[in-house]
Amino acid sequence: MRVLLIGVDGLTLRIVKPLMAQGLLPHLRQIYEGGVHALLRAPLPPAATTRWQAILTGLPPRRQGLTPGDGEYDRCLLETVTEPQSASRTLHELGQGDKALWSLLSAWGRRVLVANVPETYPPRPLNGIMLSGPPAPPFYAGLAYPPDFASRLLEVIPNYQLTPTWRGLAAWLGEPLMEIRRLLEERSALLDLLLREDWDCCLFVLHEIDLLQHLYWDRVLDLQREVVACYRLLDELLGRALSVLRSSDLLILLSPYSFQGIKRTFYLQEYLRRYKPDMPVQDTLVQQRVDWPARRRKLRLLPHLPAQRRWRVWRLAAPPAGGGEPPLAGSSLLLLPTSSPLGGYAAIALADHLTEKQIEEFMADLQAQVDPATAYPAIGDLYRDESCPGSHVPASEPEPTLPGKPTRRLILLAHDGIMLSLATGPRQLWSAGEPCCGMHHPDGLLCLYGAGLQRSVLRPVSAYDIVPTILAALNIPVPAQLVGRPLIGAGAPLASPFSI
């Protein structure tokens, strides 16, 4: 048996089901309706880094805190087109202590192919091939292991590109849809190249659908022809995968999160500026310096973006009005740059001098913020850093610190359809949403196809179940420290599935 895992960030059933019903996505329909599918639950917040770490290690992050930060991997447009910073805490480092999936498989002599998986730069030796995923520098030989795979790839795809970069952005800035289609075509050619190799397990991730839905959610909802063409390219890729699989092989198609529209905007940072201005400020938080001038320089190309889309990049990257200091520097409540409006979450650092009573009052006041137009709350869930499930602090992320004292944090998850804006200055804390853009929704999707599995539906499964399932399919003992359970095999949920 072989296992092929294809991850599609942001794959959303409310979008693809109408296309499947119209016969436009026959291969996706074959996988979804002909095998096993379930809702995929993953660690919060719905950030790509957090969820892919859970999927490909089978373990919760070791450290509690925030995910992810500037230069980390969340695939909003800002992170996609700026030079990424090297992340010192990657899946590789998790793998050294906790055994990432490819490390486990290599140790058991299985040949593994890993392509475009986030946080895998720089590539490290394994029994197989690894092509790093974002964040990583523009393509060159150091992106692949073994190094000769890079030259083989460039023979097939001469201008292979990991993500759009500042160099050569003419097509991207003119019409990003064309660039997204080109990247999907390259990914399809890459998968063809990989599947011609000898392999026992192949891990392949696509990020382009996520980018498409962030930028063009209004067109996606309308199922406009140029958008549907991108989903059809995805379906063609799945068809190529199905054509090389044997009857005994297992195909795992998953999405770590889905998408939703932005119905209303809550100006979280403006709310923090107004909240309890008489709070004491001794021992206030000090944020490491952020190079705002450098970020301004990167934004000079923004006027070339379609005007309707330009707001998103600016809100994600623009410095606060009136200077080069980070937002709310020197205050008791600091909205951290790890916050992601389009990721659907925010992170707030709490000064050490705040008492538990003050923090509880603040949390209660924040949860009481209700949209006057819809009566929906701004915050769906709120966690203290020690209780937020499945989060970590990247070592490369600047953290607000108090000398010799631990920093306390809150993780906020936006209510469905509410964007937590980082902008300041509006008179009202609420405004209309941004229909042209989409944001993350925590619910993911899992499909299993082949390997003799019957057509069935499972109750929601955990992202931590993926690694045990792959190990069980390849007849490898499941380590005791893994959190999840196999979905196949004796005693597993699919041992005696119920049919649809």
DSSP string over 248-299: T-EEEEEES-EEEE--EEEEHHHHHHHS-TTS--TT--BPPP--HHHHHHHG
Instruction: Pull the structure tokens for residue 361.
Output: 């009052």
Specify the range with the lowest mean pLDDT, choosing from 75-79, 351-355, 371-375. Answer: 75-79
Instruction: Pull the structure tokens for residue 175.
Output: 């019409």
Cα–Cα distance for residue pair 152/166, rounded to 1 Å: 25
Cα–Cα distance for residue pair 360/355, rounded to 1 Å: 9
Higher-pLDDT residue of 371 and 79 is 371
* Model pLDDT for residues 320-366, shown as the tens digit of each residue: 444 433 443 346 788 887 788 998 999 898 888 888 888 999 999 99
Residues 17, 28 contacting (CB under 8 angstroms): no
Instruction: Pull the structure tokens for residue 92.
Output: 């590789």
* Model pLDDT for residues 257-316, shown as the tens digit of each residue: 999 999 999 999 999 988 875 555 444 444 444 444 554 444 444 444 454 444 444 444
Q: Is the pLDDT of residue 12 over 80?
A: yes
Using the CB atoms, write b or e for 4-39: b if 16+ within 10 Å.
Answer: bbbbbbbbbeebbeebbeeebbebbbbbbeebbbbe
**For residues 230-255, average pLDDT:** 96
Half-sphere exposure for 230 (CA within 13 Å, toward CB): 27
Half-sphere exposure for 254 (CA within 13 Å, toward CB): 31
CATH architecture for segment(s) 3-260+440-473: 3-Layer(aba) Sandwich (3.40)
Domain with CATH 3.40.720.10 in the chain: 3-260+440-473
Q: Is the pLDDT of residue 188 over 80?
A: yes
Q: Is the pLDDT of residue 158 over 70?
A: yes
Angle between helical axes of 208-215 and 307-317 (0-180°, round to 10): 110
Bridge partners for 131 per DSSP: 115, 144
Q: What are phi and psi of 51, to 5 degrees?
A: -75, -40
Q: Is the pLDDT of residue 317 over 80?
A: no
Amino acid at 331: S
Cα–Cα distance for residue pair 328/287, rounded to 1 Å: 9
Instruction: Pull the structure tokens for residue 263.
Output: 């119905």
Cα–Cα distance for residue pair 7/251, rounded to 1 Å: 11
pLDDT for the residue numbered 293? 52
3-state secondary structure at position 102: helix
Task: With CA atoms as reference, report the closest residue to 70 among 60, 61, 80, 62.
Answer: 80
Higher-pLDDT residue of 424 and 445 is 445
pLDDT for the residue numbered 164? 63
pLDDT band at 224 (very low <50, low <70, confident <90, very high): very high
pLDDT for the residue numbered 75? 33
pLDDT for the residue numbered 178? 86
The 8-class DSSP code of residue 71 comes to T
Specify the range with the lowest mean pLDDT, choosing from 57-61, 224-228, 316-320. Answer: 316-320
Task: With CA atoms as reference, report the closest residue to 265 among 185, 339, 206, 342.
Answer: 342
Q: Is the pLDDT of residue 30 over 50?
A: yes
- pLDDT mean across residues, the chain: 78
Cα–Cα distance for residue pair 112/124, rounded to 1 Å: 12
Q: Is the pLDDT of residue 404 over 50?
A: no
CA dihedral 301, 304, 309, 314 (to 10 degrees): 30
pLDDT for the residue numbered 415? 94
Higher-pLDDT residue of 4 and 354 is 4
Q: Is the pLDDT of residue 95 over 70?
A: no
Specify the range with the lowest mean pLDDT, choosing from 46-55, 56-65, 147-156. Answer: 56-65
